[in-house]
Structure 1
């Protein structure tokens, strides 16, 4: 690991100032960044920790939604969101292992945008809003492909706001070694329709299965998916599963999520 300067600001404003330095990079849970630095694949000259900023921590409700500070660990989301958004809480409680859940944060996960991470599917399916130190970004505009987001240099996530659905569920097929999602599907039903977010399967990362959304908006049951297919040409393929296998998993897991939600 290279030498670096470590900063731990106490406010969003101070964090923004620290990140304006050349070679600065934000640190949230560090579950990806720290191992990457140890392998010398990343070498920020300034590491700016966001975990000491109180206004970026915790879970609360207001304005018809659930607000989660970006520096909130997965374990806290699993506990404090359970009453208001059980499906999201269950997702958080199934990430990694206890050590990962105690250190990893929702903001860090979304900023990294790993193609097999769980939170992106929930954000996309919920139509959530990603709040940064500079602006608010709709979920549909935030994800830009593998490990790529709409965040600009010096911009970091401060909060994520979730509209609370009528019904929702998340089902994932674990990659047993990493516990990332080989494929994971989050289904959320709102008054205006159903949204389906898929992680782990897409060659370009998280995506919405719009055909399923239309079918489920008309009939919220697993049977509504019977005539649908997922094009494997857009699916990821590796030693853990072929594109066709993942395409089939998308449909199977969507049906299971609908059944669990309903």
Structure 2
């Protein structure tokens, strides 16, 4: 299949790119990694009159990790963020989620910010940003604005990005001390979008009781579904939490739909199972040696692989 005709623009500065976007308005589309956009063009599901290739712009491939969190530039590839030791030290959920994104060849070209702008409710990165309460920085000719995650995702494949704007970076906040994270999902085949997935973050207090717990669910709503389950966990040690009861609180908040891959009830069941696993492992990571969490990750990966083969 071939894309519809378009005018190609190859700006070499950010100001030039923003100028083209300002002039083309809703007819302009940014090309970064292209791993989502190019298939849409080829299938004629998108037909922008102008394509603005930002790959020549300097300074947009940065990964800045500091005590407050990780800021990822618009041209930072999935693989670069996944391999960043500095980013993993500040926000390990990034690497945990990126390992589940498609295949290595996709991660080598696709960008984290591009995935956020694409706003697929089945994708991992929107769920990570939503769970952490991050934000996306949008630039336009003459100014910029920072949009929080809860306002950025407005619907399936829809974001707060306006005509003439370009997403230049995304910020993923760090969690407090004694925090753990996990991302669990199940797909029909390795590399496919998940039929259901759950990202979890758990924080313990000084007495190692649950102080905060949140999950973000994918593939069960028009946008990532974030649920605060702190009250359901109660101020008690993780070992005494009834994770099945906590997962039930998550299921009350989701409204999965059926498609050719899974029924709504099967998606609901998967979300409950994955919520238990993700919350349990996030709590374990918050309270135990990191090597124990790594062993758990390997065990869960083996279980998921066996489950996919038997599906």
Q: TM-score over 0.5 for the alignment?
A: yes
Q: 1:137 to 1:232 in 2, by over 3 A?
A: closer
Counterpart position of 1:201: 220
Q: 1:250 to 1:14 in 2, by over 3 A?
A: same
Counterpart position of 1:159: 169
CA contact (8 A) 1:21 1:46 kept: no
Counterpart position of 2:8: 6
2:246 is aligned with 1:246: no
Counterpart position of 2:23: 21
Counterpart position of 1:47: 51
- Cα displacement (A) at 1:135: 0.5
Q: 1:32 to 1:219 in 2, by over 3 A?
A: farther
Partner SS for 1:209: strand
Counterpart position of 2:90: 84
Q: 1:251 to 1:132 in 2, by over 3 A?
A: same
- Cα displacement (A) at 1:178: 5.3
Counterpart position of 1:113: 119
Counterparts of 2:28 and 2:244 in 1: how far apart (Å)? 50
Alignment of 1:109-258 (within 5 A): 109-133=115-139, 134-165=144-175, 166-176=179-189, 179-190=192-203, 193-202=212-221, 204-210=222-228, 212-216=229-233, 218-219=235-236, 221=238, 223-228=241-246, 229=248, 230-231=251-252, 234-258=255-279
Superposition TM-score, scaled by structure 1 size: 0.90
2:100 is aligned with 1:94: yes
Across the aligned residues of Structure 1 and Structure 2, the Cα RMSD in angstroms comes to 2.2
- Give a deviation string over 1:151-202, Cα, whole Å, max 9, x none: 1112221111111122211111123175212111111235773321111122
Partner SS for 2:83: helix
Q: Which has the higher helix share?
A: 2
Q: How many residues align?
A: 260
Q: 1:84 to 1:154 in 2, by over 3 A?
A: same
Partner SS for 1:83: helix
Q: Which runs of 5+ in 1 are unaligned?
A: none
- Give a deviation string over 1:34-92, Cα, whole Å, max 9, x none: 11211223222211122332322121123611111122111011001333322211211
Counterparts of 2:30 and 2:108 in 1: how far apart (Å)? 19
Moved more, 61-70 or 221-230: 221-230
Partner SS for 1:247: helix
CA contact (8 A) 1:233 1:243 kept: no
Q: Which runs of 5+ in 2 are unaligned?
A: 205-210, 285-311
Superposition TM-score, scaled by structure 2 size: 0.77
Partner SS for 2:217: strand
CA contact (8 A) 2:201 2:214 kept: yes
Q: Please, which of 59, 63, 68 is the counterpart of residue 64 of structure 1?
A: 68
- Cα displacement (A) at 1:217: 6.6
Q: Choose 1 or 2 for highest CA Rg.
A: 2
Counterparts of 1:28 and 1:195 in 2: how far apart (Å)? 31
CA contact (8 A) 2:219 2:256 kept: no
Q: 1:131 to 1:224 in 2, by over 3 A?
A: farther
